[in-house]
Chain A
Amino acid sequence: MTEPMFLALTALVDEPRHGYGIVQEVERLSEGKVQLKIGTLYGVLDRLAAEGLVELDREEVQSGRLRRYYRLTDSGEHALQSEVSRLAGTLQTATERLSARRGAVAVRPSIAGGAA
């Protein structure tokens, strides 16, 4: 699952959103690092819809313009949960290795000091 797909699914967890709503939420979730362009967003939505991870929730007309809202499906929820578990495992490993490295770095000067 690519980062834009992951973020778009995450953006739909709490409520159905329309295109620009997803763009805004993705930007917020990524702390401004991912700013989806409209063409990219609809490429992501096409892929997610084709895999049955999101579906159309409702259509509204705002200021004479069509606005479609998308919602997360049960499959989408499962897919997101699997991805979160996978990422959590990676995070756990990274955290453990960083802790081990800090421990090693903390020990090294004391050994050096002891020898001196």
Chain B
Amino acid sequence: MSLLEQRYRFVLRMLPASYRAEREEEMVDAFLDAAGDVRDEDNLRPGLPEVASVAGLAVRTRIGGLGAPPRARATGDAVRLFALLGLGYLAALAWDNVAAELVLFGLVRAAPDEYLVTGEQWAWALLWIAQGLVWAAAFAMLALARVRPAKVLAVTGLAASVLMYAVLGVMTPEILGWGLLGFLFATALPVVALLSAYHADAPPVRPSAPLTAAPLGVAALYQALALTVGPRVAGSPVESVGWLAPWLDPQGVTIAALLVAGTVCLTRHANPSLLLALAIAAVPMIVLRAPFDYLGAQGDGVQAMALTMLAQAAVLAVLAVALTVAAMRALPRVEGVPGVGQGRSA
């Protein structure tokens, strides 16, 4: 086996084993034919475009679309559903942030004067709202089946988030920590899902105009919850606030929703793609709830808060494993490559 062949076979290891079992030999044959006469002394490697084409194929075979084997198709549908849910979550956060900023601008209801936005903070607050609304636009585009604009907007939103948190990190280094990393991870994961799962083989998206408003509705519901439950919790003893607060922020409400949805789907033997999508959605929430920032921290209610967050992460992890196992059991294990082995002549 030549050095170039070894290197190309190494690149092909990106593909699933079942796919390689069917395709590896003929792909190697085609690649070596295209490479022509090459000696080991030439020390050639597969070019970047070749490696990129195999990486693209690896994504499309693992995160399947039209014509993919059942397990790859279910994974693809799950990642696409997660991308939609994840962008919806970011869009709802953005609308919630708009509401918060309106309060701070003093436009909605009175906030203490020291919290109100003053002169030079206006530009930053407006920038913050604008970057949030990019997510709302990205979700709306996906809901309307405009996949390409949705991808462009989502990448823009991610770049803006990274840039703004970098600036914030330079200005106030104390915010740099696990929580910020977790937030960036939770922001990036739906974008990665969107870019990888909505490929050329992905089934067409059914446009839905009412869906575009869903994040706004969720944010309005959340604000209603915050306005009714928030003051009561704030008025309770500090220790109780520590136990309750992690269930009341947007992540806490999302975790509660995931726990309910996951349990219902498990008991009703829901579609494997839905089970997998919920399992993927649990991952960023587990990362966000790992209470590393609170280890060793002192203060009233801090220990109760850290313990609640840890419990949330642990229960979500158990749920994610249960959802994944249930989904995998519902799908056939052996997969071939569609079309190969059909119509074979003697």
The reply to whether the CB of A23 lies closer than 8 angstroms to some CB of chain B is yes
Interface residues on B, range: 35 or more
Is the beta-carbon distance between A38 and B31 smaller than 8 angstroms?
Answer: yes
From A47-55, A92-100, A108-116, the one touching the partner chain is: A47-55
Contacts A47-B67, A50-B338 hold; do A56 and B29 have CB atoms under 8 A apart? no
Which residues of chain B come closer than 8 Å to A23, judged between CB atoms? 30, 34
Q: Which residues of B contact A50 (CB under 8 A)?
A: 66-68, 338-339
A18 to B67, CA, bound (A): 21
Interface: A83 (CB within 8 A): no
Q: How many contacts A-B (CB < 8 Å)?
A: 97
List residues 57-73 of chain A with CB under 8 A from any CB of chain B: 57-59, 62, 65-68, 73
Give per-residue flags for B214-251: 1 if the beta carbon is below 8 A from chain A beta carbons, else 0. 00000000000000000000000000000000000000
Could you say which residues of chain A place their CB within 8 Å of the CB of B119? none
Given that A19-B26, A57-B345, A65-B28 are contacting pairs, would A38 and B34 also be in contact in the complex, using a CB cutoff of 8 Å?
yes
Q: Are A20 and B30 in contact (CB-based, < 8 A)?
A: yes
Q: Given A38-B54, A55-B342, is A43 in contact with B26 using a C-beta cutoff of 8 Å?
A: no
Interface centre among A37, A39, A41, A50 (most CB of B within 10 A): A39
Decide if A46 touches B338 in the complex (CB within 8 Å). Answer: yes
Q: Is B256 an interface residue (CB 8 A)?
A: no
Among A20, A43, A56, contact of B340 (Cβ-Cβ < 8 Å): A56
Smallest Cβ-Cβ distance to A2: which chain B residue: B200
Whether A38 pairs with B60 at a CB distance below 8 angstroms is no
**In the docked arrangement, what's the CA distance between A67 and B25, Å?**
8
Pick from B29, B55, B57, B68: contact of A18, CB below 8 A. Answer: B29
Q: Known contacts A38-B53, A67-B29; is A56 also within 8 Å of B341 by CB?
A: yes
Q: Taking the complex as formed, is A90 at the interface, i.e. its CB lies under 8 A from any CB of chain B?
A: no
B54 nearest in chain A by CB position = A39
In the complex, chain B residues 10-35 whose Cβ is within 8 Å of any chain A Cβ: 23, 25-34
Contact status A18-B338, CB under 8 Å: no
Q: Does B343 contact A (CB under 8 A)?
A: yes
**Chain A residues with CB under 8 A of B66:** 47, 50
* Min CB–CB distance A97 → chain B (angstroms): 27
List, sorted by A's number, 30 A–B pairs whose CB atoms are closer than 8 Å.
A18-B29, A20-B29, A37-B49, A37-B50, A38-B27, A38-B34, A38-B54, A39-B54, A39-B55, A41-B30, A46-B61, A46-B337, A46-B338, A47-B67, A48-B339, A49-B337, A49-B340, A50-B68, A56-B339, A56-B340, A56-B343, A56-B345, A58-B344, A62-B29, A65-B28, A65-B32, A66-B29, A67-B26, A67-B29, A73-B343
Q: Which 8 A-B pairs have the closest CB atoms?
A: A49-B339, A50-B67, A39-B53, A19-B30, A37-B53, A55-B343, A50-B338, A20-B33
